[in-house]
Amino acid sequence: MTDAHPLPFVDLKRQQEQVRPQIDAAITRVLDHGQYVLGPEVRELEKQLADFCGAPFALSCASGTDALLLALMAKDVGHGDAIFVPAFTFVATAEVVTLLHAKPVFVDIDADTYLMNMESLEAAIGESKKQGLTPRAIMPVDLFGQPADYEKIERIAKAHGLFVVADAAQSFGATRGGKRVGTLAPVTATSFFPPKPLGCYGDGGAVFTDDGEMLEVMQSLRVHGQGKDKYDNVRIGINGRLDTIQAAILLEKLAIFEGEIAARQRVAERYNAALGDVVQTPVVEPGATCVWAQYTIRAKTRDQVAAKLKDQGIPTAIYYPIPLHRQVAYKKFPVAPGGLPVSDKMAGEVLSLPMHPYLSEPDQNRIINAVKSACAS
């Protein structure tokens, strides 16, 4: 107990120290020009986000949730539609489906990667038809920062006439097959909620697409379904814009993001090497890279491990303690035939460790040693 100062789970303060003068100056510029909504920084950010990942189009918006919503609204998702989502995810993935009066159909995940399981997906598509629903879209989640296998998913989508929306709220900056998130699916939604790999200082999000027509529809939806201007309403939309100040902050954070991804990678590699024999460490599939929104281990004695770490000033988190198909508000929706045994099991065993680009080696060692001793006793 020599070194018991509590560690942060995500250290946004240390990050801010890297860019504070730039962020102060960026905010001051916005205060000076006064274009708080859809100011020049918003367009600049969209351009730089698209360049960063190689997507033809990026559209910023008010949150990751709105990003998902805009994508589904642009595709006219509505009553009677079935949208296939993993149950082991943050609630927003299914929430946007229900807001449009469509039905989320819950799919199981793979135990090693926490990504959507393809057999469960196929079975869920069959089940939705049996229940008289119209299968419309697959919304895989890049859980913990690893992109789903969009090639496989796209094949299943094609075979059933579905479209794919990537919930990449946790994975901006990651790659698969050498391509960056934002280009792996026809439409990709991400989040800039503060602790996400690329975060702002409030709520924010973006949608990426290669479809210019869809971009225009989402642009309109983002501002109340505007036509020529916001007093010409050609469709029903939302107020889903990103604040200019948040865009200005994101531009400064994007400038150091590449280095932060590499630093996250180094932390994950040290965790992997040190903990691989002690607990189930996360698996990144061949050809994929992860941005480690979470570093999640698994232990049968999860609650004891968490308690012991807490005693030593090491915070942990459980993503996710209750899968969506078990949530009060969501248990009425269909699940893949046979249930979701992996999601149920994972909910009892997962534990996320502190993970951020500024986690020092001594602090990493402290966490590693604490996990080892918690698992040994």
Ligand X SMILES: *Cc1c(COP(=O)(O)O)cnc(C)c1O
User: Binding segment for ligand X among 17-25, 165-173, 261-269, 281-289 (CB under 6 A)?
Assistant: 165-173
Q: Which is nearer to ligand X, 193 or 330 (CB)?
A: 193
Q: What's the half-sphere exposure (Cβ side, CA atoms, 13 Å) at 291? A: 28
Interface residue with ligand X, options 92, 97, 217, 350 (CB under 6 A):
92
Interface residue with ligand X, options 39, 45, 52, 63 (CB under 6 A):
63
What is d(CA 347, CA 327) in angstroms, rounded to the nearest whole number? 12
Q: Which is nearer to ligand X, 93 or 120 (CB)?
A: 93
Residue with tokens 């949730």: 65
Per-residue tokens: 252: 């400064």
String of contacts with ligand X for each residue 71-90, x by CB under 6 A: ------------------xx
DSSP of 29-43: HHHHH---BS-HHHH
String of contacts with ligand X for each residue 323-362, x by CB under 6 A: ----------------------------------------
Residue 330 Cβ vs ligand X, minimum distance, rounded to whole Å: 14
Per-residue tokens: 178: 């050498």
Residue 293 Cβ vs ligand X, minimum distance, rounded to whole Å: 7
Residue 125 Cβ vs ligand X, minimum distance, rounded to whole Å: 21
Task: Write out the E strands in 62-120.
Answer: 81-86, 103-107
String of contacts with ligand X for each residue 196-225, x by CB under 6 A: -------x-x--------------------
Element (H, E) at 67: helix 64-74
Residue 5 Cβ vs ligand X, minimum distance, rounded to whole Å: 29
Contact between 246 and ligand X by CB under 6 A: the answer reads: no
User: Binding segment for ligand X among 57-65, 226-234, 256-264, 275-283 (CB under 6 A)?
Assistant: 57-65
| Intra-chain end-to-end CA distance of the chain, in Å | 16
Q: Which is nearer to ligand X, 350 or 375 (CB)?
A: 350
How many residues line the site for ligand X (CB under 6 A)? 15
Q: Which residues pair with 106 in a beta bridge?
A: 85, 335
What is d(CA 78, CA 99) in angstroms, rounded to the nearest whole number? 9
Contact between 193 and ligand X by CB under 6 A: the answer reads: yes
Interface residue with ligand X, options 50, 121, 141, 166 (CB under 6 A):
141
Contact between 167 and ligand X by CB under 6 A: the answer reads: yes
Contact between 187 and 83 (Cβ < 8 Å): no
Q: Which is nearer to ligand X, 188 or 209 (CB)?
A: 188
What residues contact residue 181 under an 8 Å CB cut-off, 6+ apart? Answer: 53, 142, 147, 166, 168, 171, 172, 173, 174, 175, 188, 190
Task: Identify the burial level of 111 via C-beta atoms within 10 angstroms of its C-beta, where 0-12 means exposed, 13-18 middle and 19 or more buried.
Answer: middle
Interface residue with ligand X, options 93, 117, 175, 246 (CB under 6 A):
93
Supply the Cα-derived Rg of the chain in whole angstroms. 21
What is the contact surface with ligand X in residues (CB under 6 A)?
63-65, 89-90, 92-93, 141, 167, 169-170, 191, 193, 203, 205
